[in-house]
Structure 1
């Protein structure tokens, strides 16, 4: 039996909520409010049985691993720029502007990208409380040595579309664009863009596929990757 959008088999293994590249995982990230564990006095903590103390310590470590993201100037700038572009692109029939977040590794590009997506989705839910079927944000990552079909499959995977192994890229793209339009997607976040190698034919065609999606889906595309200005993505006809 095939699964529809919003129903993912990833959640069954207990790790689906960690996959932002799936709709259930993304929604879990947006709505998650970690519970703050009670801080026990040292006398009570030391008096706990070993197994209970270990569980208590694990809960506190788990809490600290999910602390809130600090709104740095860079994150605020990405969020402000992204929201402004969404407003500008709202009524555009073509030629929508996008945004690139570039920098060295481990400098917070993914954090900025996901915080923009989270902000956009939270605002959408507040403004449209009765639109539970809407999917305002898509989040995907570009696979290494990406091909056009791999890019299309990342979009389909986010929606958990029942794609047949015999489906070609046109079938997948049509399904993705149809669901995106029906679900009122306003932001498409594309991470790990440096995995696109436009020096190869497959990489160049994958780049064209992303551009095709940006023209078919009436949304603002935001990209993030390592030193994108040095990868060749911003040079040449593409």
Structure 2
């Protein structure tokens, strides 16, 4: 007899997207919403055979851990600002386009903000202009380039070429890499480039200055708008172009619009409402037999104390609390369940100080 939950897991289980590759990015863009399945009652679960129950619970773990991206005020404000900057992308010819820097503390959803915007932009461009360019090349409206520690100019260009699956990524001289990277951007008509984890670049070091200058060259020579994502970019002198540069003379500072991302707050009425809406959104998504309206919102103050309003900590807490609710058979999230859940070190440390 077919096990519907095993079938669901095979087709719609946990997905792994390597956004730093063309194939991974296209999979991310094209993957649709998971199909829903009915939440069983306690009596119905007791009627399942052990293997089917195990698969049902695993399917619920996948479902509970993957809610739709919540349109938080932070995400909406950031997307609105990126839309403003993208207005420059309509300029003809060699006119320089603007850029955005998502500069914030860890765990505030910067990469989600950037990737969700880029995903929609990619879908929009393909719908409007098709999947191939006028020259017959595959269209790649977006390039998502994750950076790594100690990134040099050569390594940056190699990362770009690897995204485009260019065969010369590891075999070409340093002098040619930049030209090949630009050729890829031009030939596929890339219009948006996301550079994730830009804080790995030390702009106070010679290699960091080289990277900064190269990024300006890419912006000058291509028709792409850049979204820079990182932690403490201002402190790392990204906007000043490093090495004690004069901010008033910095092209990067003039071209780039800073977009800070703030944690949730309970200190204002609007902040409190936004926090409650976030919890309500999570609450409506959960597949727990005893889940009822107000389960999470009723714990709002305690959940904020545990997470300090950082979206990454909130999602970690939800994943683990749901798994605990299933494992223990309580089938709802309670104060006692949440209290036993251990999450990231930053959130736990800050919570213990309160």
Q: TM-score normalised by the shorter chain: which range applies?
A: 0.7 to 0.9
Residue pair 2:161, 2:169 contacting (<8 A) in 1 also:
no
CA distance in 1, matches of 2:83, 2:41: 45
Task: Find the counterpart in structure 1 of residue 222 from structure 2.
Answer: 217
Residue pair 1:79, 1:115 contacting (<8 A) in 2 also:
no
Q: Which moved more, 1:90-99 or 1:50-59?
A: 90-99
Task: Find the counterpart in structure 1 of residue 22 from structure 2.
Answer: 23
Task: Find the counterpart in structure 1 of residue 309 from structure 2.
Answer: none
Task: Find the counterpart in structure 1 of residue 112 from structure 2.
Answer: 111
SS in 2 for 1:162: coil
- Give 1:1-238 correspondences, 5 Å limit: 17-33=16-32, 34-92=34-92, 93-129=94-130, 131=132, 133-163=138-168, 165-235=170-240, 236=245
Residue pair 1:143, 1:151 contacting (<8 A) in 2 also:
no
Distance of aligned partners of 1:164 and 1:18 in 2 relative to their CA distance in 1, 3 Å threshold: closer
CA distance in 2, matches of 1:104, 1:153: 28
TM-score for both structures, normalised by structure 1: 0.86
CA distance in 2, matches of 1:200, 1:130: 41
Shift of 1:130: 5.2
CA distance in 2, matches of 1:156, 1:17: 21
Distance of aligned partners of 1:95 and 1:163 in 2 relative to their CA distance in 1, 3 Å threshold: same
Deviations, residues 26-81 of structure 1 (Å, cap 9, x unaligned): 12212222222332333222222212211111112112222111111221222222
Structure 2, unpaired ranges of 5+: 1-13, 251-354
Give the aligned CA root-mean-square deviation in angstroms.
2.1
CA distance in 2, matches of 1:109, 1:89: 22
Residue pair 1:22, 1:160 contacting (<8 A) in 2 also:
yes
CA distance in 2, matches of 1:80, 1:61: 33
Residue pair 1:196, 1:207 contacting (<8 A) in 2 also:
no
Distance of aligned partners of 1:136 and 1:164 in 2 relative to their CA distance in 1, 3 Å threshold: closer
SS in 2 for 1:18: coil
CA distance in 1, matches of 2:222, 2:70: 32
Structure 1, unpaired ranges of 5+: 1-14
* Residues paired across the two proteins, number: 224
SS in 1 for 2:150: coil
Deviations, residues 140-174 of structure 1 (Å, cap 9, x unaligned): 11211110011101111111110264412332222
Distance of aligned partners of 1:32 and 1:151 in 2 relative to their CA distance in 1, 3 Å threshold: same
Residue pair 1:148, 1:209 contacting (<8 A) in 2 also:
yes
SS in 2 for 1:101: strand
SS in 2 for 1:228: coil
* Higher RCO by CA contacts (8 Å cutoff, separation 6 or greater): 1
